[in-house]
Structure 1
Amino acid sequence: MNKLKHDEINGLHERIGINHHAQILAWQHMPSWRRLEIAFQAYQFTLDMVRFTEQKRHPHMYAWKLQWRIIRRMQGNQQLGKDMTGFQNLSCLNKEQSMTSMHDLSAFFQKVVNTLEALQIPYMISGGFAAVFYGEPRLTIDIDIVVDIHVQHIKPLVASFPLPRYYTSEESMRDSIRRNYPFNIIDTSTGVKADMIPLPKNDIFSRIAFNRRQTEVYNPHGDTADFISMEDIVLAKLYAHQKTGSDKHLRDAKGVLATRWHEIDMDMLRKIAGRTDVMDMFEQIYDMARREIEGE
């Protein structure tokens, strides 16, 4: 390896971190659903801390206002819920709400998956949630789901997530389909959010990845859902880094490579990455993952 390439990899290591060989081995032997549980636990802890601090700061605030402050802080979006009216009467928003259970968070994910399947809406779990499933456990504040949704699905989908427990809207779904832009389904009791992403019409990679999606077990009870493949989540994360410059995408991609080192199709990844301008970055994270696997 030449000095320039070596310095690039060392610089990337400093930015996204180095995992110990023993940690990689632990992730490799961990069921995928267990990594999701860790992500749910991290979200649960963060939500409970945000709720505690907001309750202390605003002890006399109406429960519905306080809950939306918590949701907006968790999601980093101050506009969420601003278009809704009548929240003063929402019985589910209890100011003295007890701490969140990890079961509440996993139950929301299961409800979204079960609803999509019941309505026969083809879908694919993607984004950070899929990266955690295949790779390094970390906090993720939402669930990205690519959906092949059409106008006839809107009314039954809205009806499946009614107020006051859930926040979504028919108008946002129609606009989302028209503009090919994500819409949200939010569990207002926990603040967890599903970003529903209409299957892009002109994005070749997204459509190919959608056709390659795989059914995976996501909890200890044997329930299944359709996930992006491990190879495609690596590629998706490389493309996301190229677009946004955020190193979290590289950490996710490296985590999947290292955790799935003995399963993932490296030849396929190299072939596809070689057709685009993410090949150099793929080689860097590949070498970083290799060094972690070998304990260098």
Structure 2
Amino acid sequence: MELYDLLKYLINAFEKLGIQYFITGSMGSIYYGEPRFTNDIDVVVDIDESDVPGLVGSFPEDEFYISEDAIDDAIIHKRQFNIIHPSSGLKIDVIVSKKDEFDNSRFARKHRISPIENTEANLSSPEDVIIMKMKFYQEGESEKHIRDITGMLKVSGDIIDRKYINDWANRLGLQEIWKAIINKL
């Protein structure tokens, strides 16, 4: 299985189940910015306990590893769980929405795109991908997040709402990182 096959599988499952979602992370930064290698898909979902049986049933156990207990725990604690395709080493990081003001904003701003021929999907706005990349940089200082952000600003800078980013950077304590990125450009 290739990454885009997994993406299509994921999109079809969430769409069929009516689960609200958007793709983010490296898939978002690749779409809005510069290509790079990734072996995972990050997706934010708005799910509850009633969605678990359908979700588990959408990923056959002979092809995928998905833990019902991990999903239940992620829903309760508003964390993430994984769906793994062991034979390819690919993985989906499924992040349960915190249903806070920022996540509500991200869901409201998602874009409908066609990342794969004949398939539509929900993708995070470029601004929200950038904000989350800054948060991840703040937590772990991985330079890949800064490279992703600068790539997005170079490729899609004319469509990116910097005021929105600046407002959320101030609210989330990311203003120093945002200023440093802007000064690098």
Name the TM-score, length of structure 2 as normaliser. Answer: 0.91
Whichever residue aligns with residue 218 of structure 1, its letter is: P
Does residue 252 (structure 1) correspond to residue 173 (structure 2)? The answer is no
Are the structure 2 counterparts of residues 276 and 106 from structure 1 closer, same or farther at C-alpha, using a change threshold of 3 Å?
closer
Deviations 1:80-128 (A, max 9, x none): xxxxxxxxxxxxxxxxxxxx6xxx3211110111100100000011112
Q: Which one of the candidate residues 115, 121, 132 is aligned to 1:225?
A: 121
Q: Which one of the candidate residues 113, 125, 135 is aligned to 2:33?
A: 135
Indicate the SS of the match to 2:158.
Answer: coil
Whichever residue aligns with residue 250 of structure 1, its letter is: I
Determine which structure has more spread, i.e. the larger CA radius of gyration.
1
Does residue 236 (structure 1) correspond to residue 132 (structure 2)? The answer is yes
Query: C-alpha separation between the residues in 1 aligned to 2:172 and 2:79?
Result: 25
Whichever residue aligns with residue 143 of structure 2, its letter is: D
Are the structure 2 counterparts of residues 287 and 177 from structure 1 closer, same or farther at C-alpha, using a change threshold of 3 Å?
same
Do the aligned partners of 1:234 and 1:257 also contact (CA within 8 Å) in 2?
no
Query: C-alpha separation between the residues in 2 aligned to 1:129 and 1:143?
Result: 6
Residue 275 of structure 1 deviates from its aligned partner by 4.1
Whichever residue aligns with residue 74 of structure 2, its letter is: S
Residue 222 of structure 1 deviates from its aligned partner by 4.2
Aligned to 2:108: 211
Deviations 1:7-63 (A, max 9, x none): xxxxxxxxxxxxxxxxxxxxxxxxxxxxxxxxxxxxxxxxxxxxxxxxxxxxxxxxx
Whichever residue aligns with residue 197 of structure 1, its letter is: I
Query: C-alpha separation between the residues in 2 aligned to 1:163 and 1:222?
Result: 27
Residue 199 of structure 1 deviates from its aligned partner by 0.6
Do the aligned partners of 1:231 and 1:265 also contact (CA within 8 Å) in 2?
yes
Query: C-alpha separation between the residues in 2 aligned to 1:130 and 1:164?
Result: 29
Aligned-CA RMSD value: 1.7
Deviations 1:202-229 (A, max 9, x none): x43223212211111202x242110110
Do the aligned partners of 1:257 and 1:286 also contact (CA within 8 Å) in 2?
no
Name the TM-score, length of structure 1 as normaliser. Answer: 0.59
Identity %: 34
Q: Which runs of 5+ in 1 are unaligned?
A: 1-99, 290-296
Aligned to 2:166: 270
Whichever residue aligns with residue 165 of structure 2, its letter is: L
Whichever residue aligns with residue 96 of structure 2, its letter is: P
Aligned to 1:97: none
Indicate the SS of the match to 2:113.
Answer: strand
Residue 144 of structure 1 deviates from its aligned partner by 0.8
Query: C-alpha separation between the residues in 2 aligned to 1:270 and 1:178?
Result: 31
Question: Which structure has more strand as a fraction of its residues?
Answer: 2
Whichever residue aligns with residue 207 of structure 1, its letter is: N
